[in-house]
Amino acid sequence: MPATVVRHQDNVTTRRLIAERKPGHSLPAPFYTSDEIFDLDLDAIFGKHWIFVASEAEIREPGDYVTVEFGKTSLLVIRDDDENVQVLHNVCRHRGARILTPGSGSVGNLVCGYHQWTYKPDGTLIWAASAADDFDTSCHNLRKVAFRSIAGLIYVNLSDEPNDDIDEVASIVAPYFEQHQLKRAKVAKQIDLIELGNWKLTMENNRECYHCDMHPELGCTYFITWGYPEDAIPPHLQETHERYLSAEAELEHKCVERGLPFAGIEQLDTRTMGFRVQREALDGEGESYSMTGAKLVNKLLGDFDDAKLGRLSMHTQPNFWCHFMADHAITFAVLPIAPGRTLVRTTWLVHEDAVEGIDYNVDDLTYVWRETNAQDAAFVELAQRGVTDPAYIPGPYVPSEYQVDAFCNWYIDKLTVHLDAEGAE
Ligand code: 3BY
Ligand code: FES
Ligand code: FE
């Protein structure tokens, strides 16, 4: 049977599943479990939309690189000799070997380990031993990937004709991040965690705080009313909510004084990239994600002179969220490995002049989110096991899970647009 016929049948099945999906409900099981839909996700979502891969703080000097893997793709995010960011496919132009193994580091040039074809960090082929006299190196540079840096947050788009959804979002959100000066930050720690669940379960879990009572460490600073619509705050959380409102009023005043954008913006509909940006007060000392809310890094980001600036959070569909405090920032990238395996890459960033052991301690800095990530990974695994059980029936989201619904709606919409485009070919 020709491949196109198989593909057509897959698409018919996927369209039936899309039609079966009830808005306001979790997705039918195959969206979390099937190999075909996983491949479709890689084409329709990770192959066409803007994917967060790394921050500029991870590649500070010429030759610094980090590899990013999702599905069958491996990318090199690298700083070239002119100090520009480059994103290259990690596929040699000779016979296709991977050039760098997964990880991060620094290189002078990129040398393929197979027959030593050698590329500059901007992807230009400069050496191919024993090639024919008329061999044109300029036709065999590494393939470049489209990218945009939003205030130092690097997004890629694998499509040959990338959509421009990101431009409007960049112009709206970049001012929120400017004073945190990500480009003057360095990595304090990066941890790759493999969650035993589908990437969408990882995302869904992040888009709600309905489960946040189960995060005791995070709960020391995180106002649990996060994400609740104003009219849906449960009675037992009213007091917390009052405390939150007064901390918010104080923070808003301070932000206005310092020219820090404060207003929350939520554009979750399916017309664009889908994002949410918001500055919020933290509980306790209000400075950082510690067990008391006190700052964890003495040298603050950028030129901040006040540690009590709460948290600036953003999420973008389909694979990113972050938290920026005055003393450090944390980025999260969600990278699909297989239908039931997802990499969550968490990166803690501090001021370039902050000295480990003097200004901060890595174990303390990372404690709250290491614990929180481990708890979330356990929830994702439980969810994956449950949705794989034949007894699973998609269940209803509660009002405070509206952002989970928005994520699923965005996903279903982009899948549908992709199938329509394929059908029209
Ligand atoms: O990432 C967030 O914004 C929060 C933190 C805990 C869960 N999530 C909804
Ligand atoms: Fe890279 Fe041959 S495959 S040099
Ligand atoms: Fe959580």
pLDDT at residue number 346: 99
Give residue 307's pLDDT. 98
Terminal Cα-to-Cα distance of the chain (whole angstroms): 20
Q: Give the pLDDT score at 224.
A: 83
Q: 95 in ligand 2 pocket by Cβ < 6 Å?
A: yes
**Closest approach atom of ligand 2 to CA 117:** 4
ipTM field: 0.90
Q: Which amino acid is at 216?
A: P
Q: Determine if ligand 2 sits within 6 Å of the CB of residue 97.
A: yes
Is residue 194 within 8 A of residue 373, CB to CB? The reply is no
**What is the value of pTM for the model shown?**
0.96
Q: Whose CA is nearest to atom 4 of ligand 1?
A: 206
Place of tokens 């952002």: 403
Neighbours of ion ligand 3 (CB under 5 A): 376
> How far is 327 from 345, CA to CA, in rounded Å?
20
The answer to whether the CB of 221 is under 6 A from ligand 1 is no
Distance CA 361, CA 242 (A): 33
Whether ligand 2 lies within 6 angstroms of the CB of 112 is answered as yes
Q: How far is the CA of 263 from the centre of ligand 3 (A)?
A: 24
Q: From first to last of its 425 residues, what are the pLDDT tens digits of the chain?
A: 455 556 666 788 899 999 999 999 999 999 999 999 999 999 999 999 999 999 999 999 999 999 999 999 999 999 999 999 999 999 999 999 999 999 999 999 999 999 999 999 999 999 999 999 999 999 999 999 999 999 999 999 999 999 999 999 999 999 999 999 999 999 999 999 999 999 999 999 999 999 999 999 999 999 988 767 788 888 988 999 999 999 999 999 999 999 999 999 999 988 889 999 999 999 999 999 999 999 999 999 999 999 999 999 999 999 999 999 999 999 999 999 999 999 999 999 999 999 999 999 999 999 999 999 999 999 999 999 999 999 999 999 999 899 999 999 999 999 999 999 988 65
DSSP output for 38-87:
HHHHHHHTTTTS-EEEEEGGG--STTEEEEEEETTEEEEEEE-TTS-EEE
Spatial CB neighbours of 382, under 8 Å, sequence gap ≥ 6: none
| Token pair recorded at residue 40 | 């479709």
CB 326 within 8 A of CB 295: yes
**Span from the CA of 205 to the centroid of ligand 3 (angstroms):** 6
Place of tokens 């104080």: 250
For a mutational test of ligand 2's pocket, the pick from 117, 127, 135, 143, i.e. the residue with the most ligand atoms closer than 8 A to its C-beta, is 117
| Ligand nearest, relative to CA of residue 224 | 1
**For residues 319 and 331, is the Cβ–Cβ distance under 8 A?**
no
Distance 228 CA to ligand 1 centre (A): 12
Supply the pLDDT for residue 131: 94
Does residue 117 line the site of ligand 2, with CB under 6 A?
A: yes
The pLDDT value recorded for residue 157 is 98
> How confident is the model at residue 52, as a pLDDT?
98
Q: Which ligand is nearest to the CA of 404?
A: 1
3-class secondary-structure state, position 153: strand
Predicted local distance difference test score (pLDDT) of residue 1:
46
Give the tokens for residue 216.
């005791």
Report the alpha-carbon distance of residue 354 to residue 156 in Å, rounded.
29
Q: Check residue 360 and report its DSSP letter.
A: B
As a whole number of angstroms, the distance between CA 62 and CA 84 comes to 8
Angle at 74 between CA 153 and CA 328, to 5 degrees: 30
Q: Residue 231's pLDDT is what?
A: 85
Chain position carrying tokens 């039936």 = 16
Q: In angstroms, rounded to a whole number, what is the distance separating the alpha carbons of residues 311 and 330?
A: 10
Please work out whether the CB of residue 91 comes within 6 Å of at least one atom of ligand 1. no
Pocket lining: 313 vs ligand 1, CB cutoff 6 Å: yes
Measure Cα distances from 114 to 92, 93, 95, 117 in Å: 9, 11, 9, 8
Our mutation pick for probing the ligand 1 site, out of 209, 224, 334, counting the most ligand atoms within 8 A of Cβ, is 209
